[in-house]
Chains A and B, each alone.
Chain A
Amino acid sequence: MLEWAQNFMAAIPPVLLMTVYMFIFVLVLFGCVAYVTLAERKVIGFMQVRIGPNRVGPRGFGQPIADALKLMFKEMILPNDADRFLFRLAPLLSMIPALAAWAVIPFADGWNFADINAGLLYLLAMTSLGIYGVIIAGWASNSKYALLGALRSAAQIVSYEIAMGFALVGVLMASGSLNLGDIVEAQEGNVFTWNWLILFPLFITYLIAGVAETNRAPFDVVEGESEIVAGFHVEYSGMGFALFFLAEYANIILISALTALLFLGGWLSPFPESWSSVPYLGVLLGHGPHMFIAKTCFFIFCFLWFRATFPRYRYDQIMRLGWKVLLPITLIWIFVEGVLLYFELPPWWFD
């Protein structure tokens, strides 16, 4: 039986197999995105001593499906004088980069779709493309609120991208590679050899910039409902709105996964090597994709936690934080790191 299955798998052309894998992966990712929305409502509910959604299905677990069905059957309304083509294109443009970035993310050693040498650069390029969905949506809607939201978003994302890029420069200096698999392997050792400790300022900067890049609270002036209603997607309804909503959560998962990979050692296990030889439980305690997923989930939880905890920043405060606090911190730490690397001081002990 097993042999038959192996023969069957070998007979499928690799391109087709890859396509099937990608299709399955995207479906799973969409499922995760849908359930992150439920997790958000539940987590914030518990933090605010509420129950959260509990009507649809057991304990409210059918809620994302009900929401998706509702949005699918709603009419997508085109505003007067909207740019018809761009108005429909914008939600797709915000969703596609968030999915395309997953091509280079390794879940475990060699478990990725494309093992490219410029992986980190590719990720930076893909995450910087997501902004077009927002800008085009804001412009094509022919609405003042939408345009204001789009302009705020453009300014915010461009500002925080710089701090984020510098944080990544620090990561690639520490690991000496742009390949994500190599970056994880360079952190091998124990919890204290992971990048979060030696690159602590960059780790915090990356996390804050990641929250700002995804337009999440406390940096959600882009859709600040008290000022500009809902920002760039105010004119969208039905599936258009749903896609923007999904793209936001897909980006949260992506940024969380990246933080886990770059600073928390990806698939590496925090436990000593000897623990993985424990019978049965050893598989769970050793290295593997489950470690990566657990770390990603932790950061997703942080995103929800931030939203429940912090009040929204004022627009000028966001700009000041990005340009005058985070950017100098990253520059200083890159300099410190360069000096440490050059003189081969600990904790960079190389062979």
Chain B
Amino acid sequence: MLIQTTVFYFFSGILVLSALAMITVRNPVHAALFLILAFFTSGALWLLLEAEFLGIVLVLVYVGAVMVLFLFVVMMLDINIAKMRAGYAKYLPVGLLVGAAMAAEMIIILTKTNFEHAQANAKPADYSNTQELGKLLFTEYVYPFEIAGVILLVAIIAAITLTMRKRAVSKQQKPHEQISVQRKDRVRLADLDRE
């Protein structure tokens, strides 16, 4: 139990520090990397709760896929840090207000008795979290699960449609034309007089 507590505090320490670093560092790429570290450590915390499926899926989806694309975008943006920090004093009250509201919400939720049973009962060794989760998702919560899937699909199609606007300058490959090209389309035999 002691080892478990130590590991918990180790990971939660890293989690809190990396979350703080994410919003305070100046470089946006560093911020994204700290966010990745935060995701990774929260995945580790889920592993501690014996939720290995959720922990690994968090790493797989957020760290392995979402953040890669995020980093991709952040690296290509040319962000002017001086300009971003210019209105710091002006936005500070609004920021403080939002921060205070979120802190208050969290305090209200966490101090209520909702989380009293967070200490789960010890499960037998052959208990499979993955299996239980799968059973729940495909029986009791099958409609919410499917509806969430459809909503995500709609979002994907919408995002693709937004980027599909035809621009006059954009050129595209036409693979079928490339493949079906014949010799006579490209090669012309010129009959030149011998001098």
Contacts and interface: CB of A to CB of B under 8 A. Distances in A.
Interface of A: 86, 116-118, 121-122, 124-125, 128-129, 131-132, 135-136, 139, 147, 150-151, 154-155, 157-158, 161, 178, 316, 320
Contact of B29 (A128, A139, A151): A139
Nearest to B67: A132
B100 interface: no
18 contacts: A117-B52, A117-B131, A125-B56, A125-B60, A125-B64, A128-B63, A128-B65, A131-B64, A132-B36, A135-B72, A136-B33, A139-B75, A151-B75, A151-B76, A157-B68, A158-B68, A161-B65, A316-B173
A146 to B, nearest CB: 11
Contacts of A154: 68-69, 71-72
Nearest to A139: B75
Nearest to B127: A117
B194 to A, nearest CB: 39
A124 B61 CA distance: 10
Given A129-B63, A129-B64, A132-B36, A158 B69 contact: yes
Interface string B147-182: 000000000000000000000000001010000000
A60 to B, nearest CB: 39
Q: Which 4 A-B pairs have CB atoms at the shortest separation, nearest pair first? A: A128-B64, A125-B60, A125-B59, A121-B56
Given A124-B60, A154-B68, 10 more contacts: A116-B52, A118-B56, A121-B53, A121-B57, A131-B64, A132-B36, A135-B75, A136-B33, A139-B75, A158-B65
B46 to A, nearest CB: 12
Nearest to B29: A139
Contact of A129 (B33, B59, B71, B129): B59
Most buried by A among B52, B53, B64, B71: B64
Contacts of A125: 56-57, 59-60, 63-64
B24 interface: no
Contacts of B29: 139
Contact of B53 (A86, A118, A155): A118
A310 B71 CA distance: 32
Contacts of B56: 118, 121-122, 125
